[in-house]
Structure 1
Amino acid sequence: MKNIRIIDIPKISDPDGRGNLSVLEKDILPFTIKRVYYLYDVPSDSTRGGHAHKDLQQFLIALSGSFDVVLDDGKTRKVITLNRPYKGILIPSGVWRELENFSAGAVCLSLVSETYDEDDYIREYDDFKTYVNS
């Protein structure tokens, strides 16, 4: 699964014990952020995602709680659990993704490289397999 990677987000701890601060600046992600959205109040038995993108790149962070990211490049399937707000996963274009096993109170932040474009989505898994094998 090339180009999929976990990225550490700088974490600044307050010396007086008042909490932590994490910052995402332009050198951390390999794309300019064009859209931001977040998922919350997702029931633990629900699945989100279930698609791939032709061009869009995505960076996911578990701001609170945890969830699993199921990744599929057409040959290999891999599950990565996100549960730290200072670590995120970079998902390049051409990768099928599903999000599942949301804990209570989980919040998933998504930073993406493109504005919404329905034509960029591949929503059927069989179409995805055809796309990655062409």
Structure 2
Amino acid sequence: MELPKIGDRRGDLTYVESRRHIPFDIARVYYLYGVPTDAERGAHGHRELEQLIIAVAGSVELVIDDGHSQKSYTLDDPTKGLYLCPMVWRDLRCFSSNAVVLVLASHPYDERDYFRDYLKFKRAVAESERQLP
């Protein structure tokens, strides 16, 4: 997602508004920083949570998995964010040494919303597809 950028001689400013730039109301904000370059974060999915992930400094690679295929994205521009819908597995890796990754989330933290086991996630994806009309 492209985010607005306002710039002048004093520098740049980018902002995000609920329901204007992203398709959900922001209920939680958190950020990752000081992550070793060889560390991996994420390794989970969500049942209902929506997120916008932005590398506000440095870069990070996200591997997104919908239960059928994977796609890799590199975030390295603070005016671009990656929207993650529910029922998507994510792995974050290849953090640059100065990376700061901002996450805007649609719900407060709730451990019951998480898939921490990839095989359970895949089974839930298959089950949800069987229930479609």
Task: Give the shorter-chain TM-score range.
Answer: over 0.9
Normalising by structure 2, we get a TM-score of: 0.93
Which segments of 5 or more consecutive residues in structure 2 lack a partner in the other structure? Answer: 128-133
Q: Which residue of 1 aligns with 2:117?
A: 124
The number of residue pairs the alignment matches comes to 126
1:72-98 Cα shifts (integer Å, max 9, x gaps) = 001110000000000000000000001
Q: Of 96, 99, 105, which aligns to 2:92?
A: 99
Shift of 1:123: 0.3
Q: Which residue of 2 aligns with 1:8?
A: 2
- Amino acid aligned to 2:43: G
Q: Equivalents in 1 of 2:58, 2:49: separation in Å?
A: 25
Q: Of 36, 43, 59, which aligns to 1:43?
A: 36
Shift of 1:20: 0.6
Shift of 1:18: 1.8
Q: Which residue of 1 aligns with 2:45?
A: 52
Q: Equivalents in 1 of 2:109, 2:96: separation in Å?
A: 27
Shift of 1:38: 0.2
User: Runs (4+) of structure 1 moved beyond 2 Å?
Assistant: none
Q: Which residue of 1 aligns with 2:130?
A: none
Q: Which residue of 2 aligns with 1:24?
A: 16
Q: Which residue of 1 aligns with 2:104?
A: 111
1:67-126 Cα shifts (integer Å, max 9, x gaps) = 001000011100000000000000000000010000011000000000011000000001
Q: Equivalents in 2 of 1:23, 1:57: separation in Å?
A: 18
Mapping of 1:84-95 within 5 angstroms? 84-95=77-88
Which segments of 5 or more consecutive residues in structure 1 lack a partner in the other structure? Answer: 1-6
RMSD across aligned positions (CA): 0.6
- Amino acid aligned to 1:8: E
Q: Equivalents in 2 of 1:23, 1:55: separation in Å?
A: 24
Normalising by structure 1, we get a TM-score of: 0.92
Q: Equivalents in 1 of 2:51, 2:3: separation in Å?
A: 15
